[in-house]
Amino acid sequence: MSDFPKRISIKEEGPREGFQFEKGQIPTARKIELIDSLSRTGLTQIQVVSFVPAKNVPGMADAEEVAMGFRRAPGVAYTALWLNERGLERAIATERLDIKGLLNLTASETFLQRNQKRSMTENLEAMRAIAAMYKRRDVPVERMSIAAAFGCNFEGDIPVATLIEQASQMREAAAEHGFDIKVLSLADTMAWATPQSIRRVVGAVREAYPDLQMSLHLHDTRGMGIANAYAGLEMGVALFDAAVGGLGGCPFAAHSGAAGNVCTEDLVFMCEEMGIESGVDLEALLETARLAEDIVAHPLPGAVKTGGSLRALRRKIAGEAVA
């Protein structure tokens, strides 16, 4: 039995996760150009940069310049990622971003060591310290996230019990500081998810926490991104992270090939054809996807930017029939 939502909300992560993954430096002006183009598509959430050490993620060395350069559009929330208090301070200092806190844990200790050089115990303490930091700085927190939630290239499948335990740990830390968590995001960081595991994991976590909204962060490394999004829709998931053109991936996941996020325009297209609203202008988004491909100067995996939307084709056919 399916539980499709009537409307979805997309958090666009192409400018942040996409550009941090690209080899070579993308000019700052072109990053800003992409953000401004995304702002004209109807998307309401765009994650624009990461405030992380440039030595670790060279693609984010110009984070301040990007944050100061784009044009804010009404009704769009512009967010950023940070991993510690220094990163948060940098984000706040721009005075141009929507500062919202996120609590995060990682379900794989090996991946955690490679990504942040921490043990699970150390990461739990770091998460609690982050929660205290948000309270101290009066930063709102409504979301929590689990990385490597569906599997790990170094450890294999992740037990659902691990996810339920980590969600409980984050809720406890949030409650200690007066935060009311409303959303749990499950990140398929290394593209282990399949439609079957999406249904199984989302179902089990929702059963444990029926009051939480579920969000999915999906990668398309093994070609399962849009199929997994469909499975999420079947389970009633209405919140998705995506990246225009299929930009992105995780630089610490040890993939030998492309490791992009689920493609924003392909997700919007699928939902449009299913009668699920997104609030996004698909034709404007397709133009932005082509712009993204031009900026990175290599083909991006998104399919609809090449094939075009069926709505546009139907209009063309109808126009030719009238003529």
Is 250 an annotated catalytic residue?
A: yes
Nearest to 268 by CA among 45, 39, 8, 17: 8
Residues 6+ apart with CB under 8 A from 137: 88, 92
Tokens representing residue 28 in the block: 């700052």
Nearest to 104 by CA among 47, 46, 164, 185: 185
Among residues 152, 250, 263, 271, which one is catalytic? 250
- Identify the residue whose tokens are 């990504």: 115
Tokens representing residue 253 in the block: 């996941």
Residue 112 CB neighbour total at 10 angstroms: 22
| Cα distances (angstroms) measured from residue 96 to each of 22, 102, 225, 275 | 25, 18, 32, 35
Question: Active-site positions?
Answer: 250
